[in-house]
Homo-oligomer: A and B are copies of this chain.
C-alpha cells in the first residue's frame, strides 16, 4: 500500500496515537520498532489542541513529528462512546466535550473538514457505529444513516481534500486534473456497518462499493459481541469488498484475532489493546498473556517473552518490569508499551511472511 507519506506492507497493525502520541512512547522508538502507519483520533485532536491549530502548524505529521503515514478516524466512534448528552439527527451529532462539557456538532461535512485540516494519508467517512446489541430495525436505520453520511462524506471530501496542509494544490484545467498523481492528497475510506446482521453488512458493502471509495473499513465490531460473531461479520463482508483495495477492520483485537483476520484477507487493523493493556501491566507474549504485576515475577530474570527479540526483551528482565509497575514508575508504561507493540508488529510480520510463502508455493 503506497501512501503519500510512504509505503506500508500489508496486512498491517496500526498503533493508536489518540492525542498525537502513542501513549508514553517517543516517535524515535516507534521508528525503531518499524511502525509504518499510526492512527490519530479526530475527536480528541479536534477538542485539543484543535484541528485549526494543527492546520496552522502544517498538519498532524509535522505537529507530532511523524513523517510516516497516518490514518485518522472520523470522530464518530468517540462521539458515541466518550461524549455526554449526544443527540443524533440525520444532519449529524450534537455532543458535549468529555473534557470541559462544551457543546459541539459533528456532521459528515464537518468531520471531513476536521480531518482535512489534520491532513492524514487516509481519512475515514463519518459513520454511526451501531451499538451492541441492536435489533434488526435499529441496525437497519443506523445503516441507512451511515450510507447517507458516506455519500455526503465523499462529496465533501473530494471537493476539499486539496486543502490538506501538505496536499498539492488542485490543478486548474480539466486536462491537468486528469493527470493528478495519486498520493498528492489524502484518501477517504468508506465504513461498512449493519450491526450483527450478515445481510445488512452485505447490503452496506455493496452500496459503498458503488460509491467507489479507494478503500473500505468494516466498523461496528468488537463492541461487546462474542468473537464468533465478529469473525462471522468479517467473513460475510470481506468477499464483497474489492480485493485490489485496502480492507480495514476497525478496533480489533487480540494477537490471535489479528492474525486470524489477516489470514482471512484483512489488510489493516488498529486497536488500543496493546497500548492500553501495557499501561495496566498486561503483556502479550508467545506463551500467552502475562500480568507483570504478579509477585511470581519479583525475581524472574528472564525477559518478558523468551521468544521475543524486541528492544525491551533484549535488555530488561521480568523482575525489573514488575518493579517498575510496583513502584508506579512512568518507565513501566514506556517499556510495556514498546514490548506489546513489538509483539503485535511481529505477529503481523509473521503472517505476511506466511502469506508470501503460501502464494509462492501456489505459483
Q: Write the residues of chain A forming the contact surface with B, with a CB cutoff of 8 angstroms.
A: 19-21, 23-29, 44, 48-49, 53, 56-58, 63-65, 298-299, 301, 311, 315-317, 319-320, 323-324, 326-327, 329-331, 333-335, 338
Contacts and interface: CB of A to CB of B under 8 A. Distances in A.
Contact of A20 (B21, B27, B58, B320): B320
Contact of A23 (B65, B299, B331): B331
Contacts of A20: 320, 323
21 contacts: A19-B324, A19-B327, A20-B320, A23-B330, A24-B334, A28-B311, A44-B327, A48-B326, A49-B298, A49-B323, A53-B298, A56-B299, A57-B299, A57-B319, A63-B317, A63-B320, A64-B320, A65-B315, A65-B316, A330-B330, A334-B334
A65 B326 CA distance: 18
Nearest to A64: B320
Contacts of A53: 298-299, 319
Given A49-B319, A65-B315, A323-B48, A24 B330 contact: yes
A247 B58 CA distance: 50
A324 B334 CA distance: 15
Contact of A26 (B21, B63, B323, B335): B335
A361 to B, nearest CB: 40
Contacts of A24: 329-331, 334
Given A320-B20, A331-B21, A333-B330, A315 B28 contact: yes
Q: Which of A27, A326, A331 has the most CB of B within 10 A?
A: A331
Contacts of A29: 26
Contact of A21 (B58, B301, B324, B338): B324
